[in-house]
Structure 1
Amino acid sequence: MSGHQFELAECPTDHVSAVKFAPSSPHRLLVASWDKFVYLYDTQADSGGALLNKFEHNAPVQDVCFGRDDNEAFSCLVDGTVNRVNLETGEISVMSQHAKGARSVVASAHHNVLVSGSWDLTLHLHRLDDTSGSHTTVSVPAKVFCMSVSPTKVVVAMSNRANNIYELSDLAAAADKGGNVEVEPYQRRESSMKYMTRAVACMPNDAGYASSSIEGRVAVEWFDPSDESQSRKYAFKCHRQNVDGQDVVYPVHALVYHPVYHGTFASGGGDGTAVLWDGVTKRRIKQFPRFPASVNSIAFSSNGKFVAFGVSPGFEDGKEDDTEGAIKVFIRALGDNEAQGKKK
């Protein structure tokens, strides 16, 4: 039923750090939380979905992704651990250990590579089919804040407003080497936004990426380095609320592109709102009803018919202890044309 939205039953008990739909099943959802668990749901099993399993980790979970299929996942933790999670057996095995918190993890089944990014100024490269625990370390110039993968590339956004763009084929080749290696990025870029990067999302058609900042802005860029393509990049203000006559600016915590309508992307902010944007015509498609707290993570199902929102207090309002009832995951069924871009 299009437009139907509901709250998942048996939600995490602490901050929701990531929501990810399975690559094949539009009903299978992973949720990572600071409560040290990764949750696996069937979002359509009952009226509020069904919790299929929960996987306990040794530290708060910062990110999670699926691997080669719907039964393989990878997680990364505040203590620097990168794990493989067998969603069928529940087995959790350590892939590698960063020296500081592991912030983001992305996988490419096609290239057989897993990339984890850390605050210790490194990427760890792992072969998806390697269970030996070996990995390759690649140094980067600053703390990794977020990453996103396209069909051929990985965008690594860092604390100094630098974005390194790598070819997945280069990282996959390096993953076989082990030890410390240098991998030359396809491109090095400086963020076009003045303030710290909060989220990054690659276009599913491999054309470029969007990034967001803590200062209520989103920038859209293209991989093609030609002057013509670079002249198309743009940035815009969003997730701002007028409060008592003052323009209050919120961080944009979440970005994700629609898998079917490639020009459409969603943003989620500290103002408790989520918005669908048409990146081609540069117009807002839809703003969803306001959520009870910050929208920290958003995911589309593989068929583009469902969207998940991870909601948790973001402390933007200074109420650090006000978490009761505000940690939720919402699932929404999108209408046939609800996420389709506007006509020029």
Structure 2
Amino acid sequence: MAAPAAAPPAAAAPGLGRELPDPPRDGITSLQFYAESSLLLASSWDRTARVYDTAAGTLQGTFTHGAPVLDAAFENEGLIYTGGLDCAVKRYDFFGGHEAVLGAHEAPVKCVEWLPSRGLLATGSWDSTLRLWDPRLAPSPAGQQVARLQLPGKVYSMSASDSRLVVATAGRHVDIYDLRTSVGGPPEQRRESSLKFQTRCVRCFTDGAGYALASVEGRVAMEFFDTSEAAQARKYAFKCHRRNEGGKDLVFPVNAIAFNRRFGTFATGGGDGVVNFWDGENKKRLHQVAGYPTSVAALAFNGAATQLAVAASYTFEQGEREHPADAIFVREVAEGEVRPKQRQPAPA
């Protein structure tokens, strides 16, 4: 991928990170690093998916989907998948410059997740279906779809671990699929969110034991796949992304969750323009970074947990209004900000 000429990015406020050049021109919908590399994928309402090299601080390439892109995912360093408002599921080869349409939903495609253990792409849509696609199949009039599963509502967020796929939908429903068994069957579990308000984001733990679920009402729930009484006793929820102004408690949506594979701790981003780092095991906040120019819409750690990509992109918590231009910050992460805290021994 040849890097286009770009003006140097503007200097960011201290502590927020450095801004990447050539950011999307409309709402940023997702961020994802590829494996252990410095390649970062960003999707946007400006109808593009962009790949950056965060080490060099350059835009490596842009794919125009043809409609606002609601999510995108890497298969490998040169292949990406996109889903968008035109209902289409597309695959793009940056090295070859080739585009292919795998198929389409009946409504916009909200979530896209590559499942490396199965060699399949999972997509979730506002048509209340989860579909699986096999890009190895020859294209046909029906596309490359291999499964179509009915869901209890529109898909809002989706996340996969090595063993499970978690789909959060309207109505506070959560469907859990076991990727180790046959693909295309009913969910292993169908749950209701323990949070009382609409789900905004779901992300699987790095150890595969469960998932974190965030709501529009400034809360995060920590859930476990194991249905035993002992495992379920460990689940909990906590408040975050709130502040007091003039004696009033202001509550902001938790738009994004990102786990780092190195330590298993995680970050949350909210409509308050704040990023918090958490140790979920010990129920501690490790660090806070405040002052992003607008809502934090998406987050992604690189594989080594040494960088955090932050999408500062207004998410309309306060309706239509003037807001800062979209930006992607890449922040160098200190180990002390993401390493779990040692438990203190109980006094004798």
Task: Output the TM-score relative to the length of structure 1.
Answer: 0.91
Cα displacement (A) at 1:95: 1.1
Structure 1 partner of 2:116 = 109
| SS of match in other structure, 1:338 | helix
Structure 1 partner of 2:193 = 191
Please list, as runs of the form range in 1=range in 2, the aligned pairs for 1:1-344 lying within 5 A after superposition: 5-25=17-37, 27-45=38-56, 49-67=57-75, 69-132=76-139, 133-135=143-145, 136-170=147-181, 173-174=183-184, 183-262=185-264, 264-318=265-319, 320-323=320-323, 325-344=324-343
Structure 1 partner of 2:346 = none
Q: Where does structure 1 differ by over 4 angstroms across 4 or more consecutive aligned residues?
A: none
Structure 1 unmatched ranges of 5 or more: 175-182
- Greater Cα offset, 241-250 or 230-239: 241-250
Q: 1:80 to 1:233 in 2, by over 3 A?
A: same
> Is the CA contact 1:268–1:274 (under 8 Å) kept in the aligned structure 2?
yes
Q: 1:272 to 1:205 in 2, by over 3 A?
A: same
Q: 1:44 to 1:4 in 2, by over 3 A?
A: farther
Cα displacement (A) at 1:85: 1.4
Q: Partners of 2:31 and 2:100 in 1: how far apart?
A: 21
Cα displacement (A) at 1:129: 2.8
- The one-letter amino acid paired with 1:94 is V
Q: Partners of 2:120 and 2:276 in 1: how far apart?
A: 32
Task: Output the TM-score relative to the length of structure 2.
Answer: 0.90
Q: Partners of 1:285 and 1:82 in 2: how far apart?
A: 38
Cα displacement (A) at 1:4: 7.9
- The one-letter amino acid paired with 2:206 is P
Structure 2 unmatched ranges of 5 or more: 1-14, 344-348
Q: Partners of 2:191 and 2:249 in 1: how far apart?
A: 30
> Is the CA contact 1:157–1:164 (under 8 Å) kept in the aligned structure 2?
yes
Q: Partners of 1:24 and 1:276 in 2: how far apart?
A: 21
C-alpha deviations, 1:83-132, integer Å up to 9, x for none?
11112123221111110111001111122111100010111101243352
C-alpha deviations, 1:164-189, integer Å up to 9, x for none?
00012346x43xxxxxxxx2211111
> Is the CA contact 2:25–2:325 (under 8 Å) kept in the aligned structure 1?
no
Cα displacement (A) at 1:7: 0.5
- The one-letter amino acid paired with 1:20 is Q
Q: 1:327 to 1:111 in 2, by over 3 A?
A: same
Question: Which one scores higher on RCO, CA 8 angstroms, separation ≥ 6?
Answer: 1
> Is the CA contact 1:239–1:249 (under 8 Å) kept in the aligned structure 2?
yes
Q: Partners of 1:209 and 1:297 in 2: how far apart?
A: 17
Cα displacement (A) at 1:313: 1.1
| SS of match in other structure, 1:308 | strand
Q: How many pairs are equivalent?
A: 325
Identity of aligned residues (%): 39
> Is the CA contact 1:24–1:70 (under 8 Å) kept in the aligned structure 2?
no
Q: Partners of 2:201 and 2:249 in 1: how far apart?
A: 22
| SS of match in other structure, 2:337 | coil
> Is the CA contact 1:270–1:314 (under 8 Å) kept in the aligned structure 2?
yes
